[in-house]
Structure 1
Amino acid sequence: MQTRKLYLLGGNTSQEEANSHFAKAAGGENAHIALLIVYREGYEAFLPRYTSHWIAQGVHKKNISVIVPNERGELATEDATDIVSNATGIFIGGGHSKTYYSLYAKEPFKQLLREKYAACTPLAGNSAGALLIPETVLLSPHDTDNQQAWSGPGLGILQNQLISVHFSQWHDEPNLISGLHHHNIPFGYGIDEDACLYLENENPTAVFGNEQVKRIEKGTL
């Protein structure tokens, strides 16, 4: 029986343990990884932060396909969905969370990502990418242009829980607790920058990295 594998990284995209585990799960030297990011000037220089540990696990550089919009925010959607459809591992990167949301938490990607994950393609998200995974996306005031908390419908891969990233670094526990009460959601996970929450079949299975993941209940004061 195949296992659905989900990796939620809290901010440091180059975590060795999490990325090595993800690359092996995606197929190692037989992997075809789709990396979904947003445009920023000079983004090419940042790509090794995502890819170096994958390549160390035998993933061929030619089999890592980067999906990125142009500087006007335009994405070649048909080409991108073809890449995702054929991927054996999918990694949603980090950056401006609202931009990630506008690109990848909407159709056609929303249904495609759900289908790929349901078919046991390993799925990973770092920071913004991790925030898209639940049914409800909760953005910290540290993560919005107007410094106000924001929420909206997410990919729906995780139900009845919220995710917070950069958790200790942003002192984001009050925001997570507020979100739990506002949306009447029973619990959430606060993931530090150098931590990764690893789930199998939506059940927390391990924490990778040098920092912590904290489970917060709605009743927490």
Structure 2
Amino acid sequence: MPSPAVDGQKRGYVIPIGGAEEKIDNPEILSKFVELAGGREAKICVIPTASRLEDTGSRYETLFRDLGAGQADSLPIAERSDAQDETHLDIIENATAIFITGGNQLRLSTILGGTPVAKAIRQANARGAHVGGTSAGAAIISQHMIAGGNVGIVPTEDGVNLAPGMGLINTVVVDQHFNERNRLARLLSAVSYNPFLVGVGLDENTAAFIDEDNIFTVVGSGAITVVDPSDIEYSSMAEARRGEALTLLNLKVHILASGARYDISNRIAHID
């Protein structure tokens, strides 16, 4: 479950990004992230753990400063012991926004899962700090994290691999690089387990800015595919043999481009 909001304060935005966000020509998503973080008053904490590239953190530090952030600090968390460092925890506690970079989401879950840093990120969001993540950093934001799966459009019994995520939001399951890597099948497989979840497929350079009321606005050049199984009449997941195609009846699908909004709690899509 997400950490409960601190009395008298609003939970910060949760911002999953589909990966390959524009950084130079029209960095709309990252510019909005910096603006939400406070602009010149922003204190942005970068978590580059998912990446094996040594300069990932420093590149995002420079990028955020160039976009107007007053402060940007990258935390070199490469091992579980690093995620207990008191200096890192202090930076997270004082951050106005936290950004989790792309890479391998299983590096994130195996290194950060159950650590003081993971707890600190959740608590920071509960007291108002915004948390964004791109690619792998988007996948781990939800309670149920997609760690792998099949490509294509037909869901199968073994079509998705799930692992525990960070749990900043518990009512959605997120997939990234969605249309670019043909990932509809694995998102459908994920929601077939339990209609409690809403599937959110993020195209590249596209983000969902989820506010404290669990309503998100689409920002970016692509689209977000929302799979709503709340009215599903039948899923064959329980009876399907390994690798067998699934039957799913009465799913609802929305395709939402920039400016469209979606109410996760009430499962209503709308445009202004």
SS at match of 2:55: helix
Question: C-alpha deviations, 1:152-172, integer Å up to 9, x for none?
Answer: 222222122211111101211
The correspondence for 2:123, drawn from 104, 112, 115, is 115
Matched position secondary structure for 1:158: coil
| Matching residue within 60, 65, 75 for 2:82 | 75
The number of aligned residues is 214
Which of 18, 29, 45 is the matching residue for 1:18?
Answer: 29
Equivalent of residue 86 in structure 1, options 94, 108, 116: 94
Q: CA deviation at 1:176?
A: 0.6
More helix per residue: 1
Task: Report the alpha carbon displacement of residue 39 of structure 1 after superposing the two structures with TM.
Answer: 6.9
Deviation at 1:2, TM superposition (A): 4.1
2:115 is the alignment partner of 1:104: no
Q: In the TM superposition, what is the alpha-carbon distance from 1:127 to its structure 2 partner?
A: 0.9
Root-mean-square deviation over aligned CA pairs: 2.6
Deviation at 1:67? Answer: 1.2
Alpha-carbon deviation of 1:40?
5.2
More off after superposition, 153-162 vs 115-124:
153-162
Which structure is larger by alpha-carbon Rg, 1 or 2?
2
Match of 2:93, SS state, is helix
Give, in angstroms, the shift of residue 44 of structure 1: 1.3
Change (3 A) 1:75 1:14: farther
Q: Is the 8 A contact 2:37 2:43 kept in 1?
A: yes
Determine what percentage of the aligned residue pairs are the same residue.
21
Q: 2:67 aligns with which of 57, 68, 77?
A: 57
Distance in structure 2 (CA, Å) of the matches to 1:76 and 1:195 = 29
Which ranges of structure 1 fall in alignment gaps of 5 or more residues? none
Task: Give 1:108-187 correspondences, 5 Å limit.
Answer: 108-141=116-149, 149-187=160-198
Q: Secondary structure at the match of 1:170?
A: coil
Match of 1:199 in 2: 210
- Distance between the aligned counterparts of 1:111 and 1:193, measured in 2? 28
Task: Report the Cα distance in structure 2 between the residues aligned to 1:165 and 1:39, rounded to whole angstroms.
Answer: 14
Q: Which is bigger in relative contact order (C-alpha 8 A, separation at least 6)?
A: 1
> How much has 1:175 moved relative to structure 2?
0.4
Post-superposition offset of 1:109: 2.4
Q: TM-score, normalised by structure 2?
A: 0.70
CA deviation after TM superposition for structure 1 residue 42, in Å: 4.5
**1:66 correspondence with 2:74:** yes
Specify the alignment match of 1:37 in structure 2. Answer: 48
Residues 7, 18 of structure 1: 8 Å contact kept: no
Supply the distance in 1 between the matched residues of 2:226 and 2:62 (Cα, whole angstroms).
Answer: 30
Structure 2 residue runs without a partner (length 5+) = 1-8, 152-157, 233-250, 253-272
Instruction: Indicate if the aligned counterparts of 1:6 and 1:202 stay in contact, CA closer than 8 A.
Output: no
